Structure 1
């Protein structure tokens, strides 16, 4: 059974990797100022790119172009990068590698900056290895300046912060309603800095832009399915399967929270569900009667892969906690071993799924070995595949 899951995992990973090679409508501006409309491979960059792949039409050759040849590029109305030479502070934010110097260590670098806001003042973002930086420009000027933020150590090895970006905003982007008190509570985060720059851009008008934090999305789904499992009995003298292809059923609710970054491709979930196994096996030397009901509570993390507008794949891992019901029994040759069951059996799991139109879902989940019998001399090992169908309520 585990081999079947591994084979399906390999196939689905190959499919998902291929599916991720998607090109979206975009453009780039070359060094001579020409704007070239094209299709760009959207890798949803975590760190700012230094190059990208593009093709001029659906069936044309895929080419790679780098930062030396491109002034600007964008994908749809959601993503835009511009090339700028800026003063970059590469100081780490890793606590173990902090120094005692509170001042940034600037180096001139040419990078692609992600455009967050354009207007009277512009806001830009850069993420490197172990640090993130924000920059701004104003009044259509070509000069892009850093907003300084740095973690450093004091003489007592306490962690302190250089928050010069707050004073920089007050001095360079003044607005009557953006008071010193408000700026003192301004975090070095995308949502807070966007709030400030948006308010500055609308300072002369009547519009007051509220600070909007990145939102999480909450989904609730009903999910049902079948479990196909194996049980194995072991003791000091022997080991062997007494059940192959043991069939049970499950039904429950899944609560999922999609995290507010990376296009909500990451999610956390909890899925309380009722499980039931009922089966009897008779042989010459063994009589086994399984009547096992439990409440399972899987906790996990999920990553989505977008195939097209209607279909997306996902992979998930997590841990499941099992709470057997008192009505459960596992009878060996007339002897019920339920009293010696683990009070809360548990095991890790891994799953692969497909979502259709963000409503229907199908998942194959492998639950690794779970020990059911609390006995030093013998044990019952249970592992199973779950075939799950879900429907999103909201």
Structure 2
């Protein structure tokens, strides 16, 4: 029975955290939405797990919707036996001035009957660190990094206190690196001080060792919040948790679907275009004839499999920031919505046509694809890169059960060659 329950605000974040938990000795399953914890397909996997991560598509949802989905996830996790909880958000703190990090944290605290938690987005393995309350992306402050131009959650400030204060009804406080470096007992005493009994406490961390200290100092809190890096300090009940065996075999059809506009993913697309069959989404064509344009993309992928099954075709949305400047006609869907729907429809049609391994780039795109495929649970498989892993996805679509290998990649994660090299991790 699981004792640790996590709520992730997007699908790539869910597999990111689950990968970390598996490495820390937790048998972990990702449940797609709170309903996946109900008895049925995947129920046995949940019962046998030590930790469950509920994957939501709530990062950019309306605040009320995000809060409602997160509370439903918390209640389902408690019903499954979980006793400690982890709110997982992106290490670049992706949010708007209204939320959703602050409102969701407030709601979870109220549901658990407590008023204090920590805010720890640091993940040094991916270049995210917090110093003096400011979030860095490698050597750049958050607001000077490519995240400043994110199409959905542009981050125009690096100071976590200023970002979080408008989102929460709790005071926001900071504990600096000097306290963290003094050790877990000193840090715990600082967190337990009367002045922090009602607060969201931003904690500095610039190294993996700092995160281990933070985790040790917070093991008495019913709820922690942060990126996947905070799990570095957790210790599960197993020396090494088993990883899922692949659903597919060597040579079975694969596919890359990229909806991300991040600078990292654009570099990955550029690298893959010279090595893989590829097709870029034509937004004007999708607006004019969605069904026919998607059918053309599906036909392109099937022909690519027939020509060279060893090279997974790439269908992508963005290779230049200018692509984001296209304005939707009045009353028409936004470009981001059109991209998600097109790539999800391609995924559904191509899995029905025989695709057995899919690499998906972008949190919103991943959520759309997972939903279209009717995935209920993801069991963590072979790692690809920090924060990116293969997972065995069990779901139901087109009236039948299916099992495929899915890699859900955050837009910011992975090295330049990830689209061409990820496949070697599947054996």
Identify, as 1 or 2, the structure richer in strand: 1
Larger Rg: 1
TM-score normalised to structure 2 length: 0.23
Higher RCO (C-alpha 8 Å, min separation 6): 2
